[in-house]
């Protein structure tokens, strides 16, 4: 049974890409940052002028939109 854990995986899943693995690593790694780092980032962001804050937020929204899925996700409970 233990050998099967290491050898019996078969084909890799097509949805598990290097980008997905990188996002998981960043998400898990961010949990181990010292508490002062998010406070430092928020303090520096708050010192930006309004136009700078708007630019950062607009870029973040565009990046989220570009990396997100196309269209509306299907309602999963219709499958049952």
pLDDT of residue 80: 67
- Which among 23, 34, 25, 31 has a CA at the least distance from the CA of 64? 23
Does 12 have pLDDT greater than 80?
no
Distance between CA atoms of 21 and 27, rounded to whole angstroms?
10
Whether 19 is in a domain gets the answer: no
Reduced 3-state DSSP string for 48-71: CCHHHHHHHHHHHHHHHHHHCCCC
Give the total number of structural domains in the chain. 1
pLDDT of residue 7: 77
Whether 12 is in a domain gets the answer: no
For the question of whether the overall pTM of this predicted structure is more than 0.75, the answer is: no
Distance of CA 62 to the CA centre of its chain: 14
Whether 10 is in a domain gets the answer: no
Over residues 44-73, the pLDDT tens digits come to 999 999 999 999 999 999 998 888 878 887
pLDDT band at 34 (very low <50, low <70, confident <90, very high): very high
Whether 51 is in a domain gets the answer: yes
Domain, as residue range, for 50? 25-65
Whether 15 is in a domain gets the answer: no
């Amino acid at each position: 049974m233990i050998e099967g854990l290491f050898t019996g995986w078969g084909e890799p899943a097509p949805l598990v890409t290097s980008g997905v693995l990188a996002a998981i690593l960043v998400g898990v790694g961010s949990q181990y940052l010292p508490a002062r780092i998010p406070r430092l980032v928020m303090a520096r962001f708050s010192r930006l002028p309004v136009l700078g804050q708007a630019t950062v937020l607009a870029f973040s929204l565009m990046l989220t939109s570009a990396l997100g899925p196309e269209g509306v996700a299907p309602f999963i409970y219709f499958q049952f």
